[in-house]
Structure 1
Amino acid sequence: MTNPVITISGRPIGIDYAPYIVAELSANHNGSLARAKDIIAMAKRCGASAVKLQTYAAHTITLNSRNEDFMIRGGLWDGKSLYELYQWAQMPWEWHKPLFDYARQLELTIFSSPFDTTAVDLLEDLNAPAYKVASFEAIDIPLIKYIAATKKPMIISTGMANAEEIAEAVDAARSGGCEQLALLHCVSSYPAPSSEYNLRTIVDMAEKFGVVCGLSDHTVNNTTALTSVALGAAIIEKHVTLDRNAGGPDDSFSLEEADLHSLCEQAKIAWEALGRIDYSQQASEKATVKYRRSLYFVNNKKAGEVINANDIRSVRPGFGLAPKYYDSLIGRKLITDVSANTPTSWQLIEH
């Protein structure tokens, strides 16, 4: 059985390929188009596979109300209404084309998370190569079906969703026409504690749903993301920023340039280290194999003399017979003289 693969902008994604690193720009533009472009340029410098936007306006994602249902209590955004938060965080729709154009100029894949059907329509006009469904929208079955109808690759984050809800999202995507689907294991808190990530879920998710799987990581360092590679994460998504202390909605739990560069580099190394099942001697070992243990004569001996237990020892290097032949040599006669520090050899011994 072959491992599942999806392709975005010609780049194959799956466990047989180096991890696909998505730099999530999110709200870290902080109201500046120039800053958004600087983040895209930073993602390119760091070696990210793609940069991702979020496409919504406050009125497309919530209602303008300060009723208690709409108020945020606790956490980074305590005291704001949902409308106030999204009005602060939203990326103006007129920025999308210049940002898509800029990323393409840099030869960096760019796509987005749409939060309603009008956002999908905007992104279709920009010929987005793929779509991401955010965790909060993973239960919006009509939206998933609308995205699936584009026939583009779709990545769905699964934060807060239980197994049944994930299955419903997968069914909606497939029945809606999506043939290239990926799921990202996620914990939807900001920041999220590594102890809650339960990364072994990635293995089960891949087996249960038969799709490319990865990680949407909201922890404040790279440890969780790098660990996920060993468990089959083929996609890693992290929020990125120019400055964690810039005061924007998502800055405080996002990666700065040095950490993003490290993630891109170390994730590839981790994937390469996984390799395949292979018990053979590796190319880099060929120069050192001669320093393994072998049997050497430790006494001067004459032809015809019998080899005794105190005549040979297992020592480094490995130019003599393997130590496993120790018992076979004891009691045999030499057919030629040997001196101490000579490697044992069948040519020296009477058969």
Structure 2
Amino acid sequence: MAQPIRIGDRVIGQDAEPFVIAEMSGNHNGSKERALEIVRQAAQCGVDCLKFQTYTADTITLDSRLPDFMIDDPKSLWNGRQLHDLYKEAHTPWDWHADLFAAAAEFGVLAFSTPFDESAVDFLDSLGVPMFKIASFEMTHLPLIARAARTGKPMIMSTGMASEAEIGEAVAIARDAGARDIVLLKCTSQYPANASDANLLTIPDMARRFGVQVGLSDHTPGTGVAVASVVHGATVIEKHFTLDRADGGVDSSFSLEPWEMRLLKEETTRAWRASGEVRYGGTKNEDGSRPFRQSIYPSRDIAKGTVFSRDNLKICRPGYSLAPRHFETLLGCAATRDIEAGERLSETDLG
């Protein structure tokens, strides 16, 4: 089992509540005031961490209208958009970052970001971020991974479309460059994603193969997939967050609103507590329910020497008397004492 990871006053590991990350992404809709409000409301939902994205349109792509730089996918929310225009709209201005991190600290939550090129790593490191996130589409950007790893800070990497070999290569590069604390996130790089594509059984397999903490970056609607992932061992949950989907925005359709994020935090914690241990025979808290089992009672007064029969015995609640498994054995036996209706039987009455 992978060792727990401590980030600030939080712990990521099987013995800690799921570490819930609210992803702002482009849901600020170009407004710094809205971005700060997202931080405030996410904190009120009880999340452990806020995550931003650090890029500009020019650091992440080229300003070209050649076919390679146009989104041509009828299933995409952004079909027909030019990459440069989309990223110009969605990016979080770098001069907002310090204030966003300060606001998160004021509200008592951690904050970090996803760099999309090496210059963003250096910028974020200068702001003292506690860790780095590598996005799914950057899992093959090995120079970026190495640059982030050389800071020695914990790294969370979404696996998205990455093959087992690509994940292994990314983890190896990160470790060789100095990263010791690594979390992999099972992720479906579809926006929104289908629950049928979540393949949550990959989570425990990934943990075994790579020896790291594993969580879920979830783009499905609602909270069901995220809650289910905890039962499969997810220790980190990341979901996009917005104030109100009706406000629109590049990521709004697959983002949670505040009431849903609050529910996500509550229900993933409940799922973690419910996982428990392999246990049979009931818990201490069930002791008070044991009397509501059924047992064998005399249904009428029985004189000594009377044969036990279905006419004078009954299996019923409560469960203080002789267990039902003895019923057939009792039938045909003679009572060795006078027994009052409703009086408890014991194994001595078996003859």
Q: Which moved more, 1:299-308 or 1:68-77?
A: 299-308
Structure 1 letter corresponding to 2:240: H
Q: Which runs of 5+ in 2 are unaligned?
A: none
Equivalent residue for 1:49?
48
Q: Which moved more, 1:177-186 or 1:223-232?
A: 223-232
Does the CA contact (< 8 Å) of 2:308 and 2:330 recur in 1?
Answer: yes
Structure 2 CA distance for aligned equivalents of residues 59 and 205 of structure 1: 34
Equivalent residue for 1:83?
84
Structure 2 CA distance for aligned equivalents of residues 169 and 292 of structure 1: 56
Residue 297 (1) aligns with residue 306 (2): no
Equivalent residue for 1:177?
178
Q: Which moved more, 1:12-21 or 1:136-145?
A: 12-21
TM, length-normalised to structure 2:
0.95
What per-residue deviation string (whole Å, max 9, x for no partner) do you get for residues 66-93 of structure 1? 1111111232222221111111111111
SS of structure 1 residue aligned to 2:222: coil
Structure 2 letter corresponding to 1:5: P
Equivalent residue for 1:245?
246
The Cα shift of 1:339 comes to 2.2
Structure 1 letter corresponding to 2:303: K
TM, length-normalised to structure 1:
0.95
Does the CA contact (< 8 Å) of 2:2 and 2:207 recur in 1?
Answer: no
Structure 2 CA distance for aligned equivalents of residues 329 and 192 of structure 1: 61
Instruction: Provide closer, same or farther for how the CA distance between residues 294 and 84 of structure 1 changes in structure 2, counting only shifts above 3 A.
Output: same
Does the CA contact (< 8 Å) of 1:14 and 1:212 recur in 2?
Answer: yes
Structure 2 letter corresponding to 1:16: D
Does the CA contact (< 8 Å) of 2:330 and 2:350 recur in 1?
Answer: no
Instruction: Provide closer, same or farther for how the CA distance between residues 292 and 114 of structure 1 changes in structure 2, counting only shifts above 3 A.
Output: same
Q: Which moved more, 1:192-201 or 1:166-175?
A: 192-201
Counting matched residue pairs gives 349
* 1:1-351 correspondence to structure 2 within 5 Å: 2-74=1-73, 75-308=76-309, 310-346=311-347, 349=349
Structure 2 letter corresponding to 1:237: E
SS of structure 2 residue aligned to 1:72: coil
What per-residue deviation string (whole Å, max 9, x for no partner) do you get for residues 126-166 of structure 1? 11111100011110111111111111110000111111111
SS of structure 1 residue aligned to 2:65: coil
Structure 2 letter corresponding to 1:197: A
What per-residue deviation string (whole Å, max 9, x for no partner) do you get for residues 152-198 of structure 1? 11000011111111111111111111110010011111111111121
- CA RMSD in angstroms, aligned pairs only: 1.6
Does the CA contact (< 8 Å) of 1:3 and 1:16 recur in 2?
Answer: no
Does the CA contact (< 8 Å) of 1:57 and 1:86 recur in 2?
Answer: yes
Structure 1 CA distance for aligned equivalents of residues 10 and 106 of structure 2: 17
Q: Which runs of 5+ in 1 are unaligned?
A: none
Structure 2 CA distance for aligned equivalents of residues 101 and 278 of structure 1: 45
Structure 2 CA distance for aligned equivalents of residues 90 and 216 of structure 1: 20
Structure 1 CA distance for aligned equivalents of residues 83 and 282 of structure 2: 59
The Cα shift of 1:346 comes to 4.4
Structure 2 letter corresponding to 1:233: A
Q: Which moved more, 1:154-163 or 1:298-307?
A: 298-307
Q: Which moved more, 1:158-167 or 1:274-283?
A: 274-283
The Cα shift of 1:224 comes to 1.3
Structure 2 letter corresponding to 1:232: G
Structure 1 CA distance for aligned equivalents of residues 196 and 324 of structure 2: 47
